[in-house]
């Protein structure tokens, strides 16, 4: 019999409803692993509250839909009374007054939050090394990063500390760490999930989404968080319920392999694993052709103007007045702002706030911010053209496998380029999923499947069919 | 391509204190990043409209219905300094 912590969320929900296991036992099994700090996945664990909630659910005459299954939450999502820092000193010890809508929906459905996961400060980074508090280790190799910015959520799920987790994705922060940790990560269509209670990084790009070990679990988690929320005016009425995927073949579907994302800069081992997955797509009856997204070459440049510009505005609120630590010795209000922010923000956040303030400043706005928004239009048009002749697009999720600590942190641009495959999809607001498709040098490789807006159900079906054919065993050696 | 004065000007606009060492590194790093993103300067974008929203959303409105809000004590709970049920700020001269 498979140990409780190794089972999928769907299986655990079924077992809870069948009376084979209780929420208390499940929460204990996962807390025991979460409290093992080998990987540095968690910033806060709330064992007391999780156990109390489990007892409450176990005593209910009828279990809620998710039955009392544990979940880990990225620390960018506000949880009432439970410290929420977004990985930043400027929010050290902060206890929100409300819970993010997506977390509230999950709790109402019977999920139990066991803790908050580590992340790059304010979700700015691709390795979780920018966390102000601790590094997170990749369960496949503790000398390597888990990816980022949602590295704690990815490591927690890969190391069986939680059956599933929530993350947020602005330029790849769910998909890239999922790829580097050998699990499933999905960024839904922009607006699918309410951003209320998500600490904002770049508001035209931010989306919440699932980390899971199977595509079926991703569908189940997504089904509980999508939909309109009147507290987020960009959230959408969801066109159809998110269904649990069941497809076993890909007959009748056309797949475009993105030429620009299979060439230079992609490690040979990553390319080989993705090419092998493309061969599986054909074996399952899908037809494959090469497509071009010519403007995607400008994706990273465009993103690193738009996202910092938006972050420089969003992070203006961190001023040490209403919450968070403040600089104590300022002579006047201006110095108070400058010193509080100078003390509270780490190097990458400062860099992005500076870059964004520059791009929006008088004299630079037209040449930088406005031009970037125009290039964004070109990138969106490329996707429209590609989806006119294909149903889904395939590429690596990350051009490399997990890299070593310290390898890129001193060279910001090299870190930025690790999001080259995920950024164009983000700029176009489209849904994409990363599924593990093999190993290179003993480390997981992720395949990114992107679809048109609102294609989540079909996307999950495709990923499910392919997951079956790829038969990737999600357990890092020595972890289970 | 970006000089000391520009770094200091932008830091002031961003309300961000940088020490001398940070200022120096910021100049180097921003220059490297801007060199890279300057790739977009070569594109002909005259007839391309900027993206304002990725999906064609109509203006979203809701009914204006009063809801319960936070009490003053709750709203002040996380404040670093409170004076007479208000957020305290350092003195400033207009």
As a whole number of angstroms, the distance between CA A219 and CA A134 comes to: 31
Q: Are A39 and A142 in contact (CB under 8 A)?
A: yes
pLDDT of amino acid A40: 98
Model confidence at B93: pLDDT above 90: no
Q: How far is CA A339 from CA A310, A319, A325, A343, B90, in A?
A: 22, 9, 11, 6, 12
Which residue in A41, A126, A150, A173 is the catalytic one?
A173
Model confidence at A480: pLDDT above 80: no
Residue A74 annotated as catalytic: yes
**Do A323 and B92 lie within an 8 Å CB cutoff?**
no
> Which residues partner with A288 through β-bridges?
A255
- Residues of chain B with Cβ-Cβ distance to A375 below 8 Å are 40, 43, 45, 48
Average pLDDT, chain A: 96
Query: In terms of Cα–Cα distance, which of A469, A426, A352, A432 is closest to A179?
Result: A432
Interface of B with A in 4-33 (CB under 8 A): 6-7, 9-19, 22, 26, 29-30, 32-33
What confidence tier does A222 reach under pLDDT thresholds 50, 70, 90?
very high
B85 touches chain A (CB under 8 A): no
Predicted confidence (pLDDT) per residue in A372-387, tens digit: 999 999 999 999 999 9
Residue A187 annotated as catalytic: no
pLDDT of amino acid A313: 97
Predicted confidence (pLDDT) per residue in B69-78, tens digit: 999 999 999 9
Tokens of B11: 């830091």
Q: Is A13 helix (H, G, I), strand (E, B) or coil?
A: helix
pTM of the full predicted structure? 0.97
B36 touches chain A (CB under 8 A): yes
As a whole number of angstroms, the distance between CA B6 and CA B30 comes to: 11
A335-A336-A339-A345 Cα dihedral, nearest 10 degrees: -140
Predicted confidence (pLDDT) per residue in A233-254, tens digit: 999 999 899 999 999 999 999 9
Model confidence at B55: pLDDT above 90: no
What confidence tier does A1 reach under pLDDT thresholds 50, 70, 90?
low
Model confidence at A100: pLDDT above 70: yes
The whole-number average pLDDT for the span A288-296 is 97
Q: How far is CA A198 from CA A167, A201, A460, in A?
A: 10, 9, 24
Task: Give the range among A448-452, B25-29, B51-55 with minimum mean pLDDT.
Answer: B51-55
Most B CBs within 10 Å: which of A353, A374, A412, A426, as the mutation test of the B interface? A374
Predicted confidence (pLDDT) per residue in A311-335, tens digit: 999 999 999 999 999 998 898 899 9
Model confidence at A425: pLDDT above 70: yes
DSSP state of A202: -
Give the gap in angstroms from C-alpha B72 to the nearest C-alpha of chain A: 12
Model confidence at A79: pLDDT above 80: yes
As a whole number of angstroms, the distance between CA A208 and CA A185 comes to: 11
What confidence tier does A217 reach under pLDDT thresholds 50, 70, 90?
very high
The separation between CA A343 and the C-alpha centre of its own chain, rounded to angstroms, equals 28
Residue A168 annotated as catalytic: no
Tokens of A111: 């999920």
Query: In terms of Cα–Cα distance, which of A241, A407, A250, A375 is closest to A300?
Result: A375
Q: Which residues are CB-neighbours of B82 under 8 A, at least 6 positions away?
A: B76, B88
What confidence tier does A371 reach under pLDDT thresholds 50, 70, 90?
very high
> Which residues partner with A187 through β-bridges?
A432
Instruction: Give the burial string for A454-467 (b: 16+ CB within 10 Å, else e).
Output: bbbbbbbbbbbbbb
**Do B40 and A298 lie within an 8 Å CB cutoff?**
yes
Q: Are A136 and A158 in contact (CB under 8 A)?
A: no
Q: Are A40 and A135 in contact (CB under 8 A)?
A: yes
- Residues of chain A with Cβ-Cβ distance to B55 below 8 Å are 189-191, 236, 429, 453
């Amino acid at each position: 019999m498979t140990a409780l912590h190794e089972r999928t969320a769907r299986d655990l929900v079924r077992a809870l409803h069948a009376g084979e296991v209780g929420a208390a036992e499940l929460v204990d099994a996962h807390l025991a692993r979460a409290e093992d700090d080998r990987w540095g996945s968690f910033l806060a664990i709330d064992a007391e509250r999780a156990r109390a909630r489990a007892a409450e659910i176990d005593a209910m005459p009828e279990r809620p839909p998710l039955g009392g299954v544990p979940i880990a939450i990225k620390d960018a999502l506000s949880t009432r009374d439970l410290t929420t820092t977004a990985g930043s000193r400027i929010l050290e010890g902060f206890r929100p007054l409300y819970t993010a809508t997506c977390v509230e929906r999950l709790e109402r459905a019977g999920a139990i939050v066991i803790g908050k996961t580590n992340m790059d400060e304010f979700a700015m980074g691709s390795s979780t090394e920018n966390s102000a508090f601790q590094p997170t280790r990749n369960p496949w190799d503790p000398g390597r990063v888990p990816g980022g910015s949602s590295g704690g959520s990815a490591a927690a799920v890969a190391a069986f500390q939680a059956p599933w987790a929530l993350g947020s994705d602005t330029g790849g922060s769910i998909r890239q760490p999922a790829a580097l940790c050998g699990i499933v990560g999905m960024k839904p269509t922009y607006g699918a999930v309410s951003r209320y209670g998500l600490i904002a990084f770049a508001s035209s790009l931010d989306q919440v989404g699932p980390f899971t070990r199977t595509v079926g679990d991703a569908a189940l988690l997504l089904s509980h968080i999508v939909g309109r929320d009147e507290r987020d005016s960009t959230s959408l009425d969801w066109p159809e319920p998110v269904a649990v995927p069941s497809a076993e073949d890909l007959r009748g579907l056309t797949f475009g392999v993105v030429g620009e994302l299979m060439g230079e800069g992609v490690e040979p081992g990553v390319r080989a694993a993705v090419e092998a997955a493309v061969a599986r797509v054909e074996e399952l009856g899908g037809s494959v052709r090469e497509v071009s997204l010519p403007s995607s070459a400008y994706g990273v440049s465009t993103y690193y103007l738009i996202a910092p510009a938006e972050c420089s505005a969003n992070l203006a609120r961190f001023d040490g007045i209403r919450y968070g630590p403040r600089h104590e010795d300022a002579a006047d209000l201006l110095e108070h702002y400058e010193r509080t922010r100078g003390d509270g923000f780490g190097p990458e956040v400062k860099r992005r706030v500076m870059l964004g303030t520059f791009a929006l400043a008088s004299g630079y706005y037209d040449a930088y911010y406005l031009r970037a928004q125009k290039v964004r239009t070109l990138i969106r048009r490329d996707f429209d053209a590609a989806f006119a002749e294909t149903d889904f697009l395939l590429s690596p999720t990350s051009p490399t496998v997990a890299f070593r600590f310290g390898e890129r942190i001193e060279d910001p641009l090299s870190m930025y380029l690790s999001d080259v495959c995920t950024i164009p999809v983000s700029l176009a607001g489209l849904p994409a999923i990363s599924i593990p498709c093999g190993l290179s040098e003993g480390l997981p490789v992720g395949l990114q499947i992107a679809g048109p807006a609102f294609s989540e159900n079909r996307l999950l079906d495709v990923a499910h069919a392919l997951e079956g054919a790829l038969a990737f065993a999600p357990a890092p050696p020595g972890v289970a | 391509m970006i000089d000391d004065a520009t770094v200091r000007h932008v830091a002031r606009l961003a309300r961000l204190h940088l020490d001398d060492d940070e200022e120096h590194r910021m100049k180097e790093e921003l220059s490297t990043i801007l060199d890279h993103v300057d790739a977009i300067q070569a594109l002909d974008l005259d007839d391309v409209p900027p993206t304002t929203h990725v999906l064609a959303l109509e203006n979203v409105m809701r009914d204006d219905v009063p809801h319960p809000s936070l009490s003053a004590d709750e709203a002040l709970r996380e404040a670093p300094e409170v004076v007479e049920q208000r957020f305290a700020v350092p003195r400033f001269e207009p």
